Structures are given as structure tokens and as C-alpha cells.
Chains A and B, each alone.
Chain A
Amino acid sequence: MSAEQAVRPTQVERPSGTTRTGDSIVQRLLSSPEGYLFTFIVVVWVFLAIKSTVFLTERNIGVLLSQVALIAITGFGMTLLLIAREVDLSVGSMQAFVGVVAMQAMNQWHYLVVGIVVAILLGVIVGSLNSALTLKLGITSFIVTLAMMQILRGAAYTSTNAAVQNEHKLSSFKRVFNGAAIENPVRIPWPVVIMAVFFVIFSLILAKTTFGRSLYALGSNPEAAALSGIHVWRLKTICFIVTSVMAGLSAFMLIARMNSGQNNAGFGFELQVIGAVLLGGASLAGGKGTILGTFLATLLLGSLNNGITLMGYNPNWQWAVTGIIILVAVFLDSIRRRYTQES
């Protein structure tokens, strides 16, 4: 029996975003996490547009989407991992560790590509370690990646004196975050283009490939997935590595944004990423989540953060908003699951 054949019977839930014939637009919007998030984004955007005259300007939308890109790119990888019933808490420390090492490498060799390769390689190494420790030793990924978070933060602290400054002065480096991929008719910054490319790739992988379908099956019922011939270990390892590589790439974009590798960067980043993925419809119990949901959740959180600053509120509310929204997301997820079981 092929993996795809094995998956079909386990997909008892209606895939998110699909609707019954005859549903109204409102019913359709509220019948899936994505539609639900989209509705909230519209409400929040209308509210912010009324409260701040600059919210809907081209510049602010560019800033907002660029900021969202850092979380979304890592979030796409984390979505795969949560679907597979695992989690990675080390992505925040990756922002610091990869940042300082990649900047040191570019200062040493004076090539942009060296920094990118270092970021990807470190992602592969950290992801492989997370996977090996979780799957081979049977320790939960929460514990393994919590330890990895500390190890990477410590490594970042010890490898530099607070920050690694940009000594290579590569002109292409700053453009990674601050440059525009398209200038006309609207300015689209590079981070937005990079995020869009990964959005398409990850969406296609999850929706159109055997890998994606196997992942949902694995998360929904690991025992059944294993019995049906799905390579659980291989799939989870890929998810760990992909998540760390995406975290490495967002770390590279972050240092381009800051023009330095900071060993104190990324505090709380893991919570922002995991919170966004959960809000986007993923579940800590696995088997659920979409890339569209993750993107919309990231956009919602980013819009709130952006709006809080634009309206002159204390930006520390951003932390509280993120925390409350994570709680709300988990709560709604439990309601949704209970309702699904009842129906």
C-alpha cells in the first residue's frame, strides 16, 4: 500500500477552507481558521486605517510586510514541524547564533554567498542535532530544543563581544533586507519577495505532494502512519532541518536589517513564531495547519504590533498581545477539536 493510499482514510476532517454548497460568504469565512483570520485582519486594518493616516501608505505596508517576513519565513518551517507533532524552541537563539557567525564569516571572506551558505549549513547542523536527539534518544522535542536554545544562546554570547559589526561593507548585503526587488508600480522589498516565494513553495509542498499528505497523516496518527509505510523518522528529520534552515535564513535577513550580528537578538522570537503558527490553525497535537493560516496569523500579529507603535501606545503591549493571542488560539483550537469530535 502506498503512503498516499494509507493517508486517505485518516483524513476525517474536512480540509480547512472548503465549504458546503449554499453557505453564505460570512459562513464560508468563519468556517475555517484562514477565513476567520482574514476577517480579523480586515477588521484590524480598517480600525488602524481610521486611527492612523499612515497605516495604509505604501511605505508602511512595505515596513509591515518586511517585518512580518522574518517571522513568517521561520513560521513556514515551524508549520511543517507542528503538523508532524514536534516543536522547535531554538529558533530564537538561532537568530543570535547564526547572525554572529554569518557576519563573522562575511567579514572574513567578503562574499555575501558565504554568509548565506553559513546560515543554511548551521540550520542543517542544528536541525539534524535536534532531530537526532529527539528521535534517536526518545527525548521530547520540547526538552531537546529548549536545551538547544540555551546552548545556541551561550555559543552566541561566547563567540563575540556583544556584536559583530559589518566590516565587509558589501553593498549587496544591506539590500537583502532594505532593498527593493521591484520599484514600480509599487515598491516591493526583497524580504516580501523572499517570503512570497517560500509561501508558494511550502503551500505546494503541503497541498500537492505525497510528502505533504504523508505529513498530515503522520501528525494525525503516527502509529497508523508508520504501519502504512510512512517513514516517520525521515519525515520528522526533514521537518526539523527545514525549520532550522528557515530560521537560519531569517537570521541572515535580520543581520542585514541591523547591519550587525547581535548576540542578544531574537529574544522571544520562538514564541512569536510558534504563536503565529498556532493562531494560523496548527495544533500542538499535530496533523493540522496550513501555510496560508500561518501567513495570515503572522500578518495579524504584525499589524497589531505595527499599529501599537503607530498609535503611540507603549510597545511593550506587543508582548502582551502576542501572549494573549497565543492563549486565545490554543483555547479556540481546543473548542474546535471538541466540536469536531462531537459532530
Chain B
Amino acid sequence: MTKTSLWRGWAARFALALVALLALGQIAVAQDATPSAGSPTAAQMEGDALVRSLDPTAPPDGWTIPAKVGHVTNYLVHEWYQNLTKGEQARADEWGIDFSINDANLDLTKSLAAVDDYLAQDIDVLNFTPVNEEASGPKITEAAATGIPIICESSPTDGCTTLVSIDDYAAGYKVGVWAGDYVNENLDGKAVILDVGLPALSTTVNRSQGFIDGITSVLGENATVAQSVDGNGLKDVAVQVSADALTAHPDVNVIFGINDDSALGGMQSYEAAGLDMDKLLVVGFGCEGNACKDALMEGGPYKVSAAMFPEYQGRLLIDAGVAAFNGTELAPHTIAPSTPMTADNLADYYTKDGDTYTPNFDAIAAISIEGEK
């Protein structure tokens, strides 16, 4: 066999492999929906109301305050978790609780080992954010069997006493309705949407679906999804995939991102493509950091975000743990509030002092969660 013919043979095989790979790309991967929590009982509803009204300076009679609470986080370097744990720390200080954090940095093995470490330290309450909700189930169920309350955050996991999180679908729906009204008033009633999503997680799939259903409820057939891309929740990836998608769909006038980085990354690509920023609406999710809040206040195309208030969720996590430690029955899902946050109402929920945004807990607590699950 000659050198050239050898190369030709491998070239043909390489080409076949590439063609096969492109064909395989057409196979869609179905995502599981978030498990339904079911309707809470009367006792659970009572417990839920108690959690939301707790005051560390005046705990209910006969209550014992847990000495140690630990949180196994999944990705502490993210601004969401930094602000969430700040909220937990502040609330733990108010209760006089020794609060600590053990971060898994997206490593499932490390996450499960951290649970064992906390159990070995005789922790009173464990807060837990799963790296992978299904894979964490057996370990959390095993930990729950020791009798300690386990308060989960972000995603439902088997064995949790309660899950503290927003209703992702409802939050997406609300912000979708807001976007639909905005499009009617400012963009001639027609929305061509780029969805910068994260299909690997049920929570983020629910956010995208809620948004699409919400905007469609207002605009009907005038709302179309030009393309859904996977930005991995990371800004550099979101910028790249959005840039590609916008070349295929330059008529996009609404960008939805499943978190701040996804929305800001999409907006960055739109600007880089030289498209008209006055004809764009950017809708974000989370608004946990200064980048989102500053973008809202700048008056550009980033008009609204489904605010999730991490500091307040941190407070709810601690309070739910204290209540469960004292035998209060909690609903499977302790719903955290979320609302469409804009330049007009941001000051209601956050007070800006220099570069710092301080949450106004009373205003956040007053946000209705009626009908959410």
C-alpha cells in the first residue's frame, strides 16, 4: 500500500465519522421535569407560615436553637451562592448559630463526602445543594435517617425535609408576561426569541418553558422562538453560541437567558453583530449580582429579570432549618419569592449604597407566591 492511498483510506473514514456525528446530532435528548411536590397538608401550610414569620429575637416558647448548621454547596464561586451564603451567615448570626460551608465545586464525589464530614461532626441541621439531584438521593436519604433536618436548595433531592427554591416555571411565566406586554407597547407586538438556555437541568428547562408560555399567553402566534441554544450558564459560552445563532436569525428582537451570564452574553453578541440595540429586549433570570442590577439601571435593552433574591433565600434556608429542628412540619417545597424586577421597581427591593445593593427583606417577603408550587 502506498503512502498516498493509505492517507486516502483514512481520509474517507474520517469523513464518514464526521457525517455520522452530524447525523447523530439530530437525536434530541429529552429532559425530565421537576418532580411534583404534591399539595401541602394543613400542618405543613401552618409550618410554612411559621417559617416566614420567625424572628430570631423572639423565638417561639420552648424552642431550642441548633448549635451548628452546615451547608454543602455545589458551586460557591458563583455569585448566586456567594450572596446566598452571605444571607445564611447573616441569619445564622442573628440566631447565634455556628454556620459553616463546604463547597463541592461541581464534584459529586466531593459533595457526598462533605455530607459524611458534616454527619461526623454531629451537625444539627444540614443545608444541601445537589451537584446532581438524582445521584445525591441515596446519600441524603441515608443522612436523613440519622434524624437531622436536611434543607435542600435549588433542586429537589430524595430525603430532603423541604426544598427552598423559587417556582422556576412560575417565575419564567411572570417575566414572560411582562415581556409580552413590553413587546406589545414597544416592539410592534411581534417577538422573535433567542432562548439562551441550559437543557441539562430541569430547573433551567422550566425557566425557559415558563418564559415562552408567558410571552405566548400575551402575544399568541406573534411570539416565535427562533432558536434555543445551550449557553451552559457561562458567559463565554453564551456569547459564542449566541453569536452563531444571531447570524442565522438576525431578526431576533427578544433574548431570554436562564441566568444573568446567559442574558448578558446574548446581549453582548447582539451588540457585537452590529444589530439595532433599540429594537432589542433582553430578559434575564436571577439578578443575583451587580452586573444585572447595573444593566437594568443603565436603561439599555436589558429591561427585566426574574429576580430570585439569594440573600432572602439564604435567610429562608436557616429559618426552615431552625423550625424543622424544633419539630415543625414543613411542606415539601418552601417557595421562595420571585418577581419581574425592572429599573422602576429595583429600588423597592434593593437599596444601593456605592457599589453595594442591600436587600430590603420586608419588601421581598411581601411578594406574593400564591398559586406557585
In the complex, the answer to whether B11 meets A36 with C-beta atoms within 8 Å is yes
Secondary structure dominating the interface of B? helix
From B4, B14, B77, B247, A328 is in contact (CB under 8 Å) with B14
* Interface 0/1 of A304-330, CB less than 8 Å to B: 111111111111110011001000100
In the complex, whether B6 has a CB less than 8 A from a CB of chain A is yes
Residues facing B in A16-59 (CB within 8 A) are: 23, 27, 30-31, 36, 39-40, 43-44, 47, 52, 54, 57, 59
Chain A residues closer than 8 Å to B7, beta-carbon distance: 30-31, 36
Report how many residues on chain A are interfacial, defined by Cβ distance under 8 Å: 59
With A52-B248, A54-B247 in contact, is A339–B273 under 8 Å at CB?
Answer: no
**Smallest beta-carbon distance A103→chain B, Å:** 12
From B29, B240, B272, B290, A314 is in contact (CB under 8 Å) with B29
From A23, A66, A314, B28 is in contact (CB under 8 Å) with A314
- Return the chain A residue nearest B80 by Cβ: A162
Chain B residues closer than 8 Å to A266, beta-carbon distance: 236
With A162-B79, A178-B272 in contact, is A335–B239 under 8 Å at CB?
Answer: no
Please report the C-alpha to C-alpha distance between residue A163 and residue B293 in the assembled complex, in whole angstroms: 14
Residues facing B in A151-166 (CB within 8 A) are: 157, 161-163, 165
In the complex, whether B291 has a CB less than 8 A from a CB of chain A is yes
- Return the chain B residue nearest A327 by Cβ: B17
Give the interface segment out of B167-175, B226-234, B337-345. Answer: B226-234
In the complex, whether B25 has a CB less than 8 A from a CB of chain A is yes
In the complex, the answer to whether A310 meets B21 with C-beta atoms within 8 Å is no
Give the interface segment out of A78-86, A135-143, A252-260. Answer: A252-260
In the complex, whether A203 has a CB less than 8 A from a CB of chain B is no
Chain A residues closer than 8 Å to B82, beta-carbon distance: 161-162
With A161-B79, A335-B6 in contact, is A262–B25 under 8 Å at CB?
Answer: no
In the complex, whether B265 has a CB less than 8 A from a CB of chain A is yes
In the complex, the answer to whether B77 meets A162 with C-beta atoms within 8 Å is yes
With A157-B77, A309-B244 in contact, is A163–B291 under 8 Å at CB?
Answer: yes
Chain A residues closer than 8 Å to B289, beta-carbon distance: 161-163
Binding site for B on A (CB under 8 A): 23, 27, 30-31, 36, 39-40, 43-44, 47, 52, 54, 57, 59-60, 63, 66-67, 95, 157, 161-163, 165, 177-178, 254, 257-260, 262-267, 304-317, 320-321, 324, 328, 332, 335, 339, 343
Binding site for A on B (CB under 8 A): 3-4, 6-8, 10-11, 14-15, 17-18, 21-22, 24-26, 28-29, 77-79, 82, 199-200, 227, 229-230, 234-237, 239-241, 243-245, 247-248, 250, 261, 264-265, 268, 271-273, 289-291, 294
